[in-house]
Structure 1
Amino acid sequence: MPEYLKFRCCMCPQKNDSSRICPGVPGILHPNESPCRLVKAYKDNRGWEYFVQAGIGGDTYKTFYRKPGKAGKGLIRGKCWRPVPWRDSFDEAQIDLNIEAEKRGWEEINDAPA
């Protein structure tokens, strides 16, 4: 079962970063590289993928979705998902997605866009 975080680790060095790998922080509980516990992508029971990406201007973020196997062209890799608002930071948009994924029982995936 996925771990749905609503915040980053308190000493995260990657605030508002879409990387799914935490580089680790020397001197704390996870000093080595490990999977990020906040940045995740999901799929629903139809197999549609949900992930966070920046809008066209690059300064707002939102959950996007796509059908499986539809990578898209250029920077747009999916369609924006209407139930969640545009956010000013990647982290806020990711938290929205994590909350929705938990409510809807979506499965975490590792091969969606980062």
Structure 2
Amino acid sequence: MAEATQSVRTVTTEVKTFTLTLSPEEFEWLKDVVGAAPFTATSRSVWEAVKSPANGDVYTYEGVSYDLTAKYLDTSGDTWEFTGARDSSGQPLLTCPGAGDGYANWSLRRLVAQYITLRKA
């Protein structure tokens, strides 16, 4: 069930902020709607916020939470790190430094499909 709250904080000016609490299904719906909207300055900032929520240092994929500030080792012992960018579906992108262009900007989905298990370096 969607829930919205409004808060007001007075500094030198009044700043209004809004917080949405969404179920996973509602969040996916919102991503679809915002992602399909024509981009304006406002819709672009909303899209970036939806792709990278406030707890953006952690990303959960298939029940596993990944620390986006950490480096990870694949099953071959190669080190991967998050680039800070995401693909069009919101998946974090990773690069294996020094391994060449073929190992740059892999989505987490692709990396997990290729190597199955990742562990913190």
Tell me which interval the TM-score lies in, with the shorter structure as reference length.
0.3 to 0.5
Higher share in helix = 2
TM-score of the two chains, using structure 1 as the length reference: 0.33
Q: TM-score, normalised by structure 2?
A: 0.32
With a CA cutoff of 8 Å and minimum separation of 6, indicate the structure with the bigger relative contact order.
Answer: 1
Q: Which has the greater radius of gyration?
A: 2
**Structure with the largest fraction of strand:** 2
